[in-house]
Amino acid sequence: MSQFIHIVVNFSEGRRKELIEEIIAPIKGVEGVKLIDFYPDPDFNRTIVEVIGHPVPMKASVFNMAKQIFKHIDMEKQTGTHPRIGALDTLSIYPLANFSLEETISLAEDIGQELHDMFKVPIYFSGENARNEERKNLAFLRKGQYEGLKEVIHTAERLPDIGTELHPTAGATIVNGAASGLVAVNVILNTKDINIARDIARVMRGPSGGFSTIRAVAFYLEDQDYVAVSMNMFDTDATPIYRAFKVIEFEAARYGLSIVGTQIVGTLPQEALINCAEYFLKLVDFNRDQIIENHLIDI
């Protein structure tokens, strides 16, 4: 049966539209590869790219994209509000169909080694490929960002897993394999008070006493003219979206507020939405085979 994987790339450019198009061009129109979408953010000055496809052409396309990233992005000049340590900041690989987690981990190792061999960029492994518990956390690997990493890269705590020297313009790259990717969810509140959203975000995120699988911040949505609690959900099986939604709803009620709506940023597994449907609709004896599209992969 055909194998499919999901790759998410985060590179440190979100403002120059022509350059972004040039960077993603190598993954367009490639047989066996589908560009899901790309999400530039000028404030963060980063772009997230989501691609699915067969492992062999996917790997070749990603390397061609990396070549453009390393050619055009100079970390000595790059600025932005999103934490980063390199031009190709993160490359994450997830199994999608007929591809095991073990194969995913092995592929991540191969890609990390080849990125270093081809471009001389140091590699940090995270996720299931992390060499220790601390390195599973992107915040730990990005501590001090690119500028700070230059000062500590030779220490035992921050030495790369592959390579020893920071690339003079490309910085470093984080590569990881995992069973599934994060789900980005914005829960919009009917207020412009950012401080309320910050208080609720603090309730939600793991380090401040909330869900261990959630990181949350507050921000103002210009197009909605409301604030939102923005969550990166790292395990929607352990912590379903509906559970996070209900806690935010409960906390918002303390301030006399309600939820206006929910945005899903990027892609997510269908199971994450099925869990919500089971909860809110109180589904009984629901079978995933009842979703007709689930039969297509077997044809």
- Distance of alpha carbon 105 from alpha carbon 202, whole angstroms: 33
- Pick from 296, 191, 299, 290: nearest CA to 248: 191
Token pair 């940090």: residue = 124
Determine whether 167 is an active site residue.
no
CA 151 → CA 132, 145, 148, 165, distances in Å?
21, 10, 5, 11
Q: Please, which contacts does 156-163 make with residues 24 or more away whose CB atoms are closer than 8 Å? A: 160/122, 160/123, 160/124, 161/112, 161/123, 161/124, 161/125, 161/131, 161/135, 162/112, 162/113, 162/116, 162/122, 162/123, 163/116, 163/120, 163/121, 163/122, 163/123
Tokens read off for 206: 């793991």
Sequential DSSP letters for 111-145:
HHHHHHHHH---EEEEETT-SSSGGG-HHHHTTTH
Please check whether residue 51 is in contact with residue 28, taking contact to mean a CB–CB distance below 8 angstroms.
Answer: no
- Distance of alpha carbon 233 from alpha carbon 221, whole angstroms: 19
Q: Which of 6, 82, 116, 295 is catalytic?
A: 82
Which sequence positions are flagged as catalytic?
82
